[in-house]
Amino acid sequence: MDLFMQPYVRFAMHHTFLREYVIERHIWDHEIIFIEKGKMKFTIDNEVYIAEENDCVFLRPDVLHKIEWGGEDCEQPHVHFDFFVEENSPKVRVSLYRKEQMTAEEKTWFRSDYLKENKINIPYIFKLKNPYIVRDLLFRLIDEYEHRIPYSTLALQGLLLELITAVFRDYHLGKAETSHPYSAELTDLLQYMSVNVEKNLTLQDLADHCSFSKWYLIHIFKTYFNTTPVKYFNILKYNHAKKLLLYSSELSLKEITFRLNFDSPQAFSRWFKHQDGRSPGYYRRKN
């Protein structure tokens, strides 16, 4: 299927949904929510869903939905976006209320349902087959949105295109397991990477885990994920490093260096700067 889009990121954040929070609304745009931890209750078109860990929620414009506590506090990074940049894209906010509460002007802000228009049959909520890819892209997008360094508009558009593609691909490949003969092995490899993210896994380590040759692993990994296994592992390690820098303030840069199995703070700094353009010390200070 040949699709065209020129997306606009309206809002992106990592949010924890608590017991007392309830919202019932129509939204003007599209929203992707990743359930990282916990549960959320959704009522969409009078159907009730409980979204759990590693579920993807894909909300559409002009569809009434209610979001409630699902029995556990829920960590849910999410992004609101337009599939195309429109003249009023910067003006349109994130809706928090029902259509009947909107002004006449606000009722003109509803975008068309891109999925329906293009006959993309993705449910409102589904279990991701490879949640690590969607999760990491979403966190990179949120990071870019929050820091707004030079060329962030271009970077946000690229990351959102990757995220939308990953969600579409995950659903359709998960629906048709036979579409890739090694989907089970690759899913297991992603789990292995995630569990061992603090180690220095080499291409040979990854190939040995799958019982493939290095060159065959690169070939099948790229056909499934459009990147190499080593580049994908570096993304995982980079996002884990950022979490340690931001949320483990009791750890010094030297302690983080050795926890991530780098030989020296200088080696860690060179590697991090290659991923981010900033040193780990600068990243920690600015955030």
Q: List the chain pLDDT tens, one digit each, 287 residues.
A: 567 889 999 999 998 877 788 899 999 999 999 999 999 999 998 899 999 999 999 999 999 999 998 888 899 999 999 999 999 999 999 999 999 999 999 999 999 999 999 888 899 999 998 888 899 899 999 999 998 888 888 899 999 998 998 899 888 766 645 456 777 788 889 889 988 999 999 999 999 999 999 999 999 888 777 789 999 899 889 888 988 888 777 889 999 999 999 999 999 999 998 887 888 888 888 76
User: Tokens representing 188?
Assistant: 């297991």
Distance CA 125, CA 42 (A): 9
User: Domains plus CATH for the chain?
Assistant: 8-175 (2.60.120.280), 181-286 (1.10.10.60)
Neighbours of 245 (CB within 10 A): 19
pTM: 0.68
Summarize pLDDT for 52-86 with one digit per residue, the tens: 999 999 999 999 999 998 888 899 999 999 999 99
Pair 163, 101: CB distance under 8 Å: no
* φ, ψ (nearest 5 deg) of residue 50: -110, 110
The stretches of 1-130 forming alpha helices (DSSP H) are: 114-117
SS3 55: strand
Pairing relation of β-strands 47-51 and 74-82?
unpaired
Give the contacts of 247 (CB within 8 A, at least 6 positions apart): none
Q: What share of the chain is helix, strand, coil (3-state, %, to 5)?
A: 45, 20, 35
Summarize pLDDT for 93-142 with one digit per residue, the tens: 999 999 999 999 999 999 999 999 988 889 999 999 888 889 989 999 99
Pair 8, 89: CB distance under 8 Å: yes
User: Tokens representing 185?
Assistant: 């092995």
Place of tokens 């180690």: 199
Give the whole-number percent of the chain exceeding pLDDT 90: 56
* φ, ψ (nearest 5 deg) of residue 12: -150, 135
In the chain the beta strands, taken as DSSP E runs, fall at 8-17, 23-25, 30-34, 40-44, 47-51, 55-59, 65-69, 74-82, 125-127
Neighbours of 42 (CB within 10 A): 20
User: Tokens representing 227?
Assistant: 């990147």
* φ, ψ (nearest 5 deg) of residue 8: -130, 125
pLDDT at res. 23: 92
Distance CA 53, CA 163 (A): 18
* Helices 229-247 and 265-276, axial angle in degrees (round to 10): 110
User: Tokens representing 13?
Assistant: 């954040």
SS3 32: strand
